[in-house]
Chains A and B, each alone.
Chain A
């Protein structure tokens, strides 16, 4: 079994068609892990590549991600404790005082679709809550988002607090959002700045591979 049709349904975002395909594979004796690793992730790898090259647009990627996630929910009870290999783990949130979530949500979706585990802390997250999550989840990368110029200092406070705790200080930190830039990332002690979701994925992959 090649699972190419499942991969193609992920790529085209065929939310309705993919479930029937998965049902047929299961009836033919395929395991959940085979469907995920050879069908779903294979399709998302193509999606990720096309997105990075500008051949797929964000709503199309989101449709693909939804098709994949719907199937993942369907397959989860059948996995019997077998974990799918994760590409890496990120804790992400919008900093205190800022309630904007669109950039954070977009990146979370792109990362999940590329095999990363994402712990989303939501919006208006305090420095202390970021630190607590880093200590608890031990992620490869922490992502901080801000849209307002007025909440840039909250980003700085979060980085400062995390760098001051020996148990959390080594986590890689990416920042993003309209008012920040690479110079600001350097200034506050973050490891990287990502101007958009596509480059954030690339940066995430680089940071995790180090």
Chain B
């Protein structure tokens, strides 16, 4: 097996959803799968590169099988540490997290938007993405500002307009799902324009690319093209597999975690064959199909079990940082179910040891965005970041001297130890723990009203000038050129 990623067995960071023995079984079976079943890869250059590296390739069937030696060599060249850079270096994300914590990403790909106070969804626009980026930039526990699919631009360039909107309004890292293989180069040029040119882009890449499988075991021309271009330019890869239990993967959570894991492994091998040392984030996004209705969702206990198992497989067997859905809900309406399911998923995934918690601010299984939910998710993520820090056992954390010095029936309030640590506790900015009387006197607002008030304050914040005019003009030129080329 690969070296487990970043102390994953720390009791402060990870609940052992899978035992070491089970991880070993999954890993061995993954090697058998890669060697005997293989993957359909619909991209000639990728197949040729894999063949040169030792893969057994059937070019007619477009199937590549990876011998054990190839897989193990690839896992050895994945970097143990790297950074996902941001437009503002203060927001760079260092992997492994220096505090053994996790990072948080907003939802990606949604097509609908729920305005605060509204009850009906509407189609997402470029202006919404701009506002989303500014909001995410101001939320302290949001680390990656991703974007949805705008409806008010030519759809063949929706990803390019979306990236343009987010880079112009957020100083944080973003990840990008290209919508067509012809768009990949334009997306690279757009991100390069935002940082001042290709050299700067290669030095401090502000984006990572989403590479995706067509589960089960297939990679379309676009999927391989993304990895090829990412390798060429040094763009970190988020290797995504999106199985649905019972539909595109076994109905069991473990079977689904396995399928997600081997697909992540396949993309890792492709990336390392092309460019050893290219950063890869293992990103299993697990769904479960309801066997009664056929609906696919992310919030059932079975989907959550699959997600936690996939995170631990990716992290402990493959040695990759793990990224998965940690927020969001299957609820069709913006109600209490959204907050309950989002919080449950975030808690489980964080405790499973995920390094990147995704999809903040969404409901309807990632298809609808709510800025109010994003603010609530931000608060929950802050709470969870405190939680995963855990407590080390030493004399200072015990307060050993104080324990011994305090008299029977006395108080700890006046001790030096309490004075030293009285500001350690995480402070909520959204929840309330006041008495009813104090709460009524101060505001009398419920959670929804308080969240709306915070949203209004943040939305009224003037837009910061993140990029100079020359960069904005260069980006505009790329968008215009892309539209002409793709039309």
Q: Taking the complex as formed, is A122 at the interface, i.e. its CB lies under 8 A from any CB of chain B?
A: no
Q: Taking the complex as formed, is A58 at the interface, i.e. its CB lies under 8 A from any CB of chain B?
A: yes
Residues of B9-64 at the interface with A, using a CB-CB cut-off of 8 Å, are: none
B108-124 interface code vs A (CB 8 A; 1 in, 0 out): 01111000000011010
Q: Taking the complex as formed, is A152 at the interface, i.e. its CB lies under 8 A from any CB of chain B?
A: yes
Q: Taking the complex as formed, is B296 at the interface, i.e. its CB lies under 8 A from any CB of chain A?
A: yes
Are B291 and A153 in contact, CB atoms less than 8 angstroms apart? no
- Cβ contacts under 8 Å, A153 to chain B: 155
Are A183 and B294 in contact, CB atoms less than 8 angstroms apart? no
Are A196 and B155 in contact, CB atoms less than 8 angstroms apart? no
B241-258 interface code vs A (CB 8 A; 1 in, 0 out): 000101110000000000
Q: Taking the complex as formed, is B149 at the interface, i.e. its CB lies under 8 A from any CB of chain A?
A: yes
Q: Taking the complex as formed, is B384 at the interface, i.e. its CB lies under 8 A from any CB of chain A?
A: no
**Nearest CB on A from B178, distance (A):** 10
In the complex with contacts A102-B247, A149-B111, A57-B220 CB distance below 8 A: no
A152-183 interface code vs B (CB 8 A; 1 in, 0 out): 11000000000000000000000000110101
Q: Taking the complex as formed, is B411 at the interface, i.e. its CB lies under 8 A from any CB of chain A?
A: no
Are B291 and A58 in contact, CB atoms less than 8 angstroms apart? yes
Q: Taking the complex as formed, is B362 at the interface, i.e. its CB lies under 8 A from any CB of chain A?
A: no
Q: Taking the complex as formed, is A99 at the interface, i.e. its CB lies under 8 A from any CB of chain B?
A: yes
CB closest chain-A residue, reference B220:
A99
Are A150 and B294 in contact, CB atoms less than 8 angstroms apart? no
In the complex with contacts A149-B149, A183-B120, A57-B367 CB distance below 8 A: no
**Nearest CB on B from A207, distance (A):** 19
- Cβ contacts under 8 Å, B179 to chain A: 150
Are B294 and A106 in contact, CB atoms less than 8 angstroms apart? yes
**Nearest CB on B from A196, distance (A):** 4
Per the bound structure, the CA–CA distance linking A178 and B246 in Å amounts to 16
Are A152 and B111 in contact, CB atoms less than 8 angstroms apart? yes
Residues of A104-160 at the interface with B, using a CB-CB cut-off of 8 Å, are: 106, 149-150, 152-153
Are B149 and A178 in contact, CB atoms less than 8 angstroms apart? no
Q: Taking the complex as formed, is A198 at the interface, i.e. its CB lies under 8 A from any CB of chain B?
A: yes
Per the bound structure, the CA–CA distance linking A153 and B150 in Å amounts to 11
Residues of A37-85 at the interface with B, using a CB-CB cut-off of 8 Å, are: 54, 57-59
Are A58 and B294 in contact, CB atoms less than 8 angstroms apart? yes
Are A59 and B295 in contact, CB atoms less than 8 angstroms apart? no
**Residues of B within 8 Å of A, CB-based: how many?**
29
B276-296 interface code vs A (CB 8 A; 1 in, 0 out): 000000000000010111111
CB closest chain-B residue, reference A102:
B247
Per the bound structure, the CA–CA distance linking A54 and B244 in Å amounts to 20
Q: Taking the complex as formed, is B176 at the interface, i.e. its CB lies under 8 A from any CB of chain A?
A: no
**One of A57, A149, A178, A179 near B291 (C-beta < 8 A):** A57
Q: Taking the complex as formed, is B324 at the interface, i.e. its CB lies under 8 A from any CB of chain A?
A: no
A178-210 interface code vs B (CB 8 A; 1 in, 0 out): 110101000100000001111000000000000
Q: Taking the complex as formed, is B214 at the interface, i.e. its CB lies under 8 A from any CB of chain A?
A: yes
CB closest chain-A residue, reference B112:
A181
Per the bound structure, the CA–CA distance linking A187 and B155 in Å amounts to 16
Are B295 and A196 in contact, CB atoms less than 8 angstroms apart? yes
Per the bound structure, the CA–CA distance linking A59 and B155 in Å amounts to 36
Interface of B, secondary structure class, is loop
Among the interface residues B120, B289, B293, B294, which one has the most CB atoms of the partner chain A within 10 A? B294
Per the bound structure, the CA–CA distance linking A97 and B214 in Å amounts to 13
Per the bound structure, the CA–CA distance linking A179 and B368 in Å amounts to 9
**Nearest CB on B from A184, distance (A):** 8
- Cβ contacts under 8 Å, A197 to chain B: 293-294
Per the bound structure, the CA–CA distance linking A131 and B159 in Å amounts to 28
**Residues of A within 8 Å of B, CB-based: how many?**
23
- Cβ contacts under 8 Å, A102 to chain B: 244, 247-248
**One of B110, B244, B248 near A149 (C-beta < 8 A):** B110
Q: Taking the complex as formed, is B158 at the interface, i.e. its CB lies under 8 A from any CB of chain A?
A: yes
Q: Taking the complex as formed, is B365 at the interface, i.e. its CB lies under 8 A from any CB of chain A?
A: yes
In the complex with contacts A58-B294, A149-B110, A178-B158 CB distance below 8 A: no
Are B294 and A198 in contact, CB atoms less than 8 angstroms apart? yes
Are A178 and B296 in contact, CB atoms less than 8 angstroms apart? yes
Among the interface residues A58, A102, A150, A183, which one has the most CB atoms of the partner chain B within 10 A? A150
- Cβ contacts under 8 Å, A183 to chain B: 120-121
**Nearest CB on B from A203, distance (A):** 14
Per the bound structure, the CA–CA distance linking A183 and B119 in Å amounts to 13
**One of B214, B294, B367 near A99 (C-beta < 8 A):** B214
Are B367 and A178 in contact, CB atoms less than 8 angstroms apart? yes
**One of B121, B149, B289, B365 near A150 (C-beta < 8 A):** B149
- Cβ contacts under 8 Å, A187 to chain B: 123
**Nearest CB on B from A124, distance (A):** 10
Per the bound structure, the CA–CA distance linking A178 and B365 in Å amounts to 8
**One of A54, A103, A152 near B294 (C-beta < 8 A):** A103
Are A150 and B291 in contact, CB atoms less than 8 angstroms apart? no
**One of A58, A179, A196 near B111 (C-beta < 8 A):** A179
In the complex with contacts A149-B367, A150-B155, A153-B155, A54-B111 CB distance below 8 A: no
- Cβ contacts under 8 Å, B158 to chain A: 150
User: What are the 6 tightest A-B residue pairs by CB atom distance, in nearest-first order?
Assistant: A153-B155, A57-B291, A196-B293, A150-B179, A149-B149, A196-B294
22 A–B pairs (Cβ distance < 8 Å), ordered by A? A57-B291, A58-B289, A58-B291, A58-B293, A58-B294, A59-B246, A59-B291, A99-B214, A102-B244, A106-B294, A149-B111, A149-B148, A150-B149, A150-B155, A150-B179, A152-B111, A152-B155, A187-B123, A196-B294, A196-B295, A197-B293, A198-B293
Sample of 12 further A-B pairs with CB below 8 A, known A58-B289, A150-B155: A57-B292, A58-B292, A99-B214, A102-B248, A149-B110, A150-B179, A152-B155, A153-B155, A179-B367, A181-B121, A187-B123, A198-B294
